[in-house]
Amino acid sequence: MREVDLLQAATKTLREGYTSRRQVLRMLPAGLGALLLSASDVPAADEHQPRAIATPRAPGAPKPAPPRHGGAPDQHGRAALSRPVFTLREYRRAVPGPAFPRDAVALTIDDGPHPVWTPKILRLLAHHHVPATFCMIGNQVLGHEATARDVVRDGHQVANHTWSHPTHLARKHGAKVSKEIERAQDKIYSTTGHTPAVFRSPGGDWSSTVLGAAANAGMVPLDWSDDPRDWSRPGTAAIRRRLLAARPGQILLCHDGGGDRSQTYAALKTVVPALKARGYRFIALDGRR
Rounded CA-CA distance 274/143 in Å is: 34
Mean pLDDT for the chain?
A: 81
- What does the radius of gyration of the chain's CA atoms come to, in whole angstroms? 29
Q: How many CB atoms lie within 10 A of CB 174?
A: 14
Q: Are 138 and 266 in the same domain?
A: yes
Does any domain span residue 76?
no
pTM of the model: 0.74
pLDDT digits (tens, 9 = 90+) for 237-283: 999 999 999 999 999 999 999 999 999 999 999 999 999 999 999 99
Domain count, the chain: 2
Distance (Å) of CA 208 to CA 34, 177, 213, 215 = 63, 11, 8, 10
119 lies in a domain?
yes
Instruction: Give 80's pLDDT tier (boundaries 50, 70, 90).
Output: confident
- Of 73-82, 113-122, 164-173, the poorest mean pLDDT is in 73-82
Report d(CA 160, CA 219) in Å as an integer: 9
Q: Rounded to whole angstroms, what are the CA distances from 159 to 8, 83, 234?
A: 61, 18, 26
Residues 103 and 215 in one domain: yes
What would the pLDDT profile of 168-201 be if each residue is shown by its tens digit?
999 999 999 999 999 999 999 999 999 999 999 9
Which range of residues forms the domain containing residue 98? Answer: 88-283
Q: Which residues share a beta bridge with 222? A: 85
Enumerate the active-site residues.
Answer: 110, 255
Torsion of the alpha carbons at 161, 166, 172 and 173, rounded to the nearest 10: -60
- Residues 159 and 283: their CA atoms lie apart, in Å, by 14
**24, 14 contact by CB (below 8 A):** yes
Residue 252 and residue 156 share a domain = yes
Residue at 80 is within a domain: no
Residues 257, 138, single domain; the answer is yes
| Residue 23 or residue 205, greater confidence | 205
CA distance 251 to 215: 20
Interatomic CA distance for residues 198 and 190, integer angstroms: 17
Give per-residue pLDDT as tens, 36-76. Answer: 443 433 333 333 333 232 333 333 333 333 333 333 344 44
Q: How far is CA 288 from CA 6, 159, 183, 187, in A?
A: 58, 12, 21, 20
- In terms of Cβ atoms closer than 10 Å to its own Cβ (0-12, 13-18, 19+), residue 23 is middle
Amino acid letter for position 31:
G
Looking at the fold, whether 33 and 100 belong to one and the same domain comes out as no
